Amino acid sequence: MIWLTWRQLRGSAAMTAALLVVLAIALALTGPDLASDYSTGIAACTQDDTCRRFYDRFFDEYDMPFMAVSLIVLLLPAVVGLFWGAPLITRELETGTHLLVWNQSITRGRWLAVKLGFTGLVAMAAACLCGLAVTWWSGPLDKSAPGDLALMAPLVFGARGIAPMGYAAFAFVLGVTVGMLVRRTLPAMALTLVVFAAIQLAMPLLVRPHLITPVTSTFELSETNVDGIGINRDQGGRAEIRLRATVPGHAGAWLLSSDLVDPSGRPLAGPAPGTGIVQVSTTSGPCAPSSSAGMGACPAEINRLGYRQKATYQPLERFWPFQWIETGIYALLTLGLTWLSFWWIRRRLS
């Protein structure tokens, strides 16, 4: 059975392995230089306090490779589910070979166990190695990425660490299960893709933010969390604060919500998300355009009046706990689908 499984898998496995080898070589050749450039830049910017500008410049230089390698890791589990999982049973059913295979000395359960075990382990190993290699390579970029592409951000989190291994295992068994139910390869592949994509979207939007209770804190306004201060003429010339998608003192945190609040803690609505209107004079005082202190003194005045940023976030320190918890969730889903596959092939599939 192992020999037969390998004979059926070796074509797609060899193609996947070749692509991963090319990726590994590219990462190995460019990774040391990337880390060296980052270390050199950090050593220089800390001397004149220009690290914010260095982060922006450094990430902009490598943003295309950063997105490319992340996309490869995100797509690999879907490819496993589509091309390894979905055809596993439907190929036998469509050609009729199951009538011969399942009437030999090897039982259906053993046949499926070897298929799932051997192919699933290969898929998990490929996804895990790919995820860890990209995590190593992108380390300097993850430290300098903007808030929406930070390590804990939904788009990046799933392409790092061990989570891709859980995704690949789930996608593979999902494809096998859907193939048993649908019994046709192309419909099974399409349905597998739809279900897997829906779960991959639901996880960061509905589940992951609540795996551990998020932290809620208030912060004074500063250059770190204020993107700009303007005068809103539609609100009687009041000051309009635009907040950055960052958490002061918690670089790399996953920002779930951010509001400008008044001294009593009530959120202040603005004309756009991430903005707020504050009750401060813009005709005189530190927030006036004609002020001798310049607009740089305006945040200090707004802080003195009691306005703050209220942020709910998941700190970067929870990255690996989240990785293990989410991988465990996908492992449970995989076990559930595996049980369903064994029950279905023994009781309902003929």
Tell whether the model's pLDDT for residue 317 goes beyond 90.
Answer: yes
Cα dihedral across residues 46, 49, 50, 54: positive or negative: positive
Q: If you write DSSP's letter for every residue of 269-317 in order, what string do you get?
A: P-SSTTEEEE---SSSSTTSTT-TT-GGGHHHHHHHTT-EEEEEEE-GG
- The pLDDT-based confidence of 292 (bands split at 50, 70, 90) is low
The helix/strand/coil state of 7 is helix
- What is the identity of the amino acid at 92? E
Is the pTM for the entire model greater than 0.85?
Answer: yes
Lowest-confidence region among 136-145, 224-233, 293-302: 293-302
Q: Cβ(303)–Cβ(189) under 8 Å? A: no
Report which of residues 281 and 72 the model is more confident about.
Answer: 72
What pLDDT score does 309 carry?
A: 93
Sheet holding 215-219, edge to edge: 215-219, 308-314, 254-261
Average pLDDT over residues 311-321: 95
Residue-level pLDDT at 289: 73
Percent of the chain's residues with pLDDT above 90: 51
Question: What is the pLDDT averaged over residues 198-222?
Answer: 94
Average pLDDT over residues 210-226: 91
pLDDT above 60 for 90: yes
Q: What is the CA radius of gyration of the chain?
A: 26
